[in-house]
Each structure stands twice: as structure tokens, then as C-alpha cells.
Amino acid sequence: MQKFLLLFIFISFTTFGQEEHAWVYFKDKPNVEASISNPLSILSARAVQRKSRHSIAIDFRDVPVNESYLAEIKSFQDIAVKSKSKWLNCVHVIGELGEIEKLKELEFVSSIEYADDNLNTRSQLTNNYGKVKLETSISYDYGFAENQVNMLGTDFLHQNDLTGEGMIIAVLDAGFPNVNTLSGFEKIRNEGKLLGGFDFPGRSNDFNNPELNNHGTLVLSNMAGFIEEFIVGTAPDAAYYLFRTEIAATETPVEESYWVEAAERADSLGVDVINSSLSYALFDNPAYNYTAQDMDGQTAFSSRGASIASEKGILVVVSGGNSGESDVFPGIGAPADADVLTVGAVDPDRNRLAFSSVGPTADGRIKPDVMAQGSEVVVLTPDNRLVAVSGTSFSSPLMAGSAASFWQANPELSNYKIMDLIRESSSNAANPNNLIGYGIPNFALAYENLQNEVFTSEELVIFPNPVENFLNFRAPETGGYHLTIFDIIGRKILERDQVEEQIDLSGFSRGIYIAMFEKDNFNESRIIIKK
């Protein structure tokens, strides 16, 4: 959905001069070593397991922001603390320029970065590493959704029992009215797969408030919607967190901070995939606008957060934007310029849509990465109707759900490897460009390539994880392995010799375990979560 802003010529220059948006960066954090040595004090068990599975270190960025620093900043008159980021160790404040400048006197403040770049000096940025968003309007019988699912070969995944089971997707959007009552989401509700969510701008758990913008409900239906013969999403058996980060009526920099805060929450909950159908380039106050040169993956606040989310092992899927025909900003917006899977739009006949934003990034990387249907996309509305809509907003969730279902086949692979396999399977992989990227993925081909990847792997692979009864494993060498399983505090729970391919954990209690596999000179451990 595109938000249109009506500007009047007779506006004084003081209209935007009353308040400023800024990020206040801190020098340190409390109890870093103790938190890292006890990761379950700052992360969920699933998050710890995902990081272990992909050999991702738990580091300084995972430790929460110092709450005493926040309290001191909140004590300043005319300063409003709107959001915080543990990854970037900062808070987003809104206030008068003079009041914000006073924060520099605090001993724990390292720097301040203003959303209006004209207020910044290079010394202030030592910690830094047009409205284009919310784009408009088994064998399943997909009904009206058939073309948008089959175009990607996602029906092949579903026919092979790859429907997102065991994967968790976080949706960052503008609101999710009525997901708690709509029949199209009854499946995920009844199966306990609507895991919750949060309204970050409203600081409330009421993310499905019927008064909120309905864009998130439409987007979610492309992944989780399930009414056979009418609509089936691309990941109908995944589990979902729903995070409102967007204030639909306005466009201000604080929405980027809410985006990063939600991504951090997703990481701490062990989310596998983030879908974001949001794009930032032009703001209500032109002083905050980004330029094409800013789209380098390192400048925009949301892009910095998205890149860290990728580093943390999350597959981040982002709409490229609807500005392809714009004379002002035809390129992709943040965070689509980050190290993420950026999605453009094609019509039902696989032709690029003119509104789909184009690359490259400012540093020359190809964007978008891939394409999916972005016109005549069937979605479910909060009043329980099926409608056809347009925009890269809907290309992105079709891709995110498909990617989650695909990743289910081998969750041991990294998010970066999954992105590579998706690109390599796409229609334009031999000659990628900045109009359609690598083209339209073929998940049937990606699955074939994935099987080859698994077969030639020299690493230990365990699946599914989390596990209910039987844990399967593939190892570099044939023959039996010596297996030892410990609980989370190191007590030996099970020891077996000559174990091959499968382990029966049906008698284990729910919890976190460590499995050690040994054979000759091979010795590797994996964290296992028992459901």
C-alpha cells in the first residue's frame, strides 16, 4: 500500500522544527560476560538452538540495553524514548534539539545520530557501522490462490510434505485486525501456531486490534491462510509471531526503530524467517529522506538491523517496493538494500510489473534478488472476503512462506545457503540483472539441488529439530556412531554404541539436550530441543 502525502505550499519553515528524531548510542552494557555464559537468561531455548545449529556466536549484541541508562534519559524533560535496540546498543528519542544535545553530557552516551543528516557531524557517527511502503491493493485445492502458489513451484513442496512444519515466521507489518477470529486463520489458531505478537508503537499485546491498519492481515493470508478450494498460503503449517511496527497514517524515522526492535524480539524467540512488506525512503519531513546513495545496506537504521538479523541466522525476506515508475525515487528502499532476500513483482503471466522497484544498491549489488506474483494476488480481508490486490507487499510473503517450507527440508543449512539455493533455482540465474534479479524461483528445482547438497555434505546433519519422537541424522561417514546425550546441566542421560541414522527420543521429557556423536577422529555435538 502506498501512502500519499498532500503538501501545501504555504507552510512555514518552523513546521518541522519543533522536534527531532535521533538515535542515542551507549558505550557499554551490563553483565555481558555473565549473560553470554548463561544464554538462556537472555534468549529463548529455540534461539539458542538455532544459533548452535548454524554455529552463530552469542555475543555482545544479544545482551539487552542497560535499563538504568534508559531510566536516566527518560528523566530528561521534553525527551520521549520511543524504542530501543540491543543489537545497535541505542535508543530512539524524539525531542527538541537542545534537549537532545544535553544527552551528550551523559558519561555513558557515546554518540548521537540524527535522522536529519544535516544535523550530524562525522564525529557523531563513530558507532555506526516518496513513501514507498505498505504496497497495495498433501495435495491442496488452492482455489483462487493456485497461480500465485504454483508459479513458484511451492505446490511441489507441499506435495512432498514440506508445508512449513517446525518453522517459525515473524511478520512485521502495520496491524493484524481479526486474525484471532477469521476462519482463514482457524487452522493456525487451533494447532497452537499463532504464537502471539506485539504492537510496538502502541506498546500493547493487542496486535490484532480491529482499529489497526489491515495490511498485515492481508499479508499473513498469503502464508498462513487456509480455506481449501478458496485460498491456501505458502506455509500453512508454520507457526507465526505477528509484530506491528508500522504507523500507517504517518511516515517517520521511529518506524525503522520499531522494525529493528521487532527483529531483535524475533531473534530472541528463535524465529527462522522474517517477512517485512515495508520500505523506507521518503518521509513526511523531507529532511529525513534517504537518497539513492544511502541504499548501501549500512546507512539506513532498518537496513543495519536487517543485516544483523541475517548474521544472527534469520532468513529476512523483504518487499523491494513499488516505486519503479517514480521520477523521485525509483530504486529499492530500506531495508531491501541490506543483506536480505529482496522480492520484486511480476504479473500472473510472469512478466515484470512496471511499479516494481529496481536496483542496484548504492554499492553495486543486484537487487531485487528474486520475483513473485505481485498483481491479482488473492488475499483474505479482516471482514472475511477474498479480494485481489497488487504490490510487492504480497510478492514478499508468497516468497517468505515458500522459503520457510523449503527450509523445512533441511533446517541445518544456514539462511545464506537457503538464499543461494533459491537464487540458483530462479529463471534468470544465468544472467541476473537489476530489473528482475535472478528471476522467479522454481522450488522444485531448488529441492532437487538441496538433495544433492545434503548427499555431498561433509557435516553432521540432524532433523527435525525441535523433535517430537524420532531424531534423524546424516553424518559424513557410513556405519554406526557412539552417541551420548546430556541434559542442559551436563548430566549423562543416554549412551549408545553403533547408532545409525535414527534416535528414538519418545521417552524423553520436553527440554533442551546436548547430543555428542563420536566415531574414530570425528567428534561433534548438537543442541536438541525435545517437544
Looking at residues 286-310, what average pLDDT do you find? 96
Q: In this model, does residue 128 exceed pLDDT 90? A: no
Q: Which of 155, 173, 267, 339 is catalytic?
A: 173
| Whether 215 is catalytic | yes
What would the pLDDT profile of 90-120 be if each residue is shown by its tens digit? 999 999 998 999 999 999 999 999 999 888 8
Looking at residues 315-342, what average pLDDT do you find? 95
* 11 CB-contact burial (10 Å; exposed 0-12 / middle 13-18 / buried 19+): exposed
> Is the separation of the CB atoms in 332 and 359 below 8 Å?
yes
Looking at the chain, the whole-number percentage of residues with pLDDT higher than 70 is 92
Q: Are strands 90-95 and 79-85 parallel, antiparallel or unpaired?
A: antiparallel
Per-residue pLDDT at 453: 65
Per-residue pLDDT at 319: 97
Q: In what order do the strands lie in the sheet with 90-95?
A: 79-85, 90-95, 20-26, 109-114
What would the pLDDT profile of 254-269 be if each residue is shown by its tens digit? 999 999 999 999 999 9
Q: In what order do the strands lie in the sheet with 470-474?
A: 461-463, 470-474, 502-504
Average model confidence (pLDDT) across the chain: 88
3-state class (DSSP) for residue 470: strand
Q: Which of 21, 92, 158, 215 is catalytic?
A: 215
Q: Which of 35, 307, 323, 393 is catalytic?
A: 393
Per-residue pLDDT at 52: 79
Looking at residues 294-303, what average pLDDT do you find? 96
What would the pLDDT profile of 491-526 be if each residue is shown by its tens digit? 888 998 888 888 888 889 888 788 888 888 777 888
Q: How far is CA 403 from CA 156, 238, 450, 474, in A?
A: 13, 11, 12, 22
pLDDT-based confidence at residue 489 (cuts at 50, 70, 90): low
| Whether 158 is catalytic | no
Per-residue pLDDT at 135: 38
Q: In this model, does residue 458 exceed pLDDT 90? A: no
| Whether 296 is catalytic | no
Q: Shortest CA distance to 312 belongs to which of 158, 102, 65, 87?
A: 87
Which of the listed ranges 28-37, 317-326, 496-505 does the model predict with the highest average pLDDT? 317-326
pTM: 0.81
Per-residue pLDDT at 125: 37
Q: In this model, does residue 475 exceed pLDDT 90? A: no
Question: What domains can be seen in the chain, in order of their start residue?
Answer: 20-29+64-125 (3.30.70.80), 143-454 (3.40.50.200), 461-530 (2.60.40.10)
Per-residue pLDDT at 525: 80
pLDDT-based confidence at residue 139 (cuts at 50, 70, 90): confident
Q: Shortest CA distance to 39 belongs to which of 59, 56, 67?
A: 59
Q: How many CB atoms lie within 10 A of CB 115?
A: 23
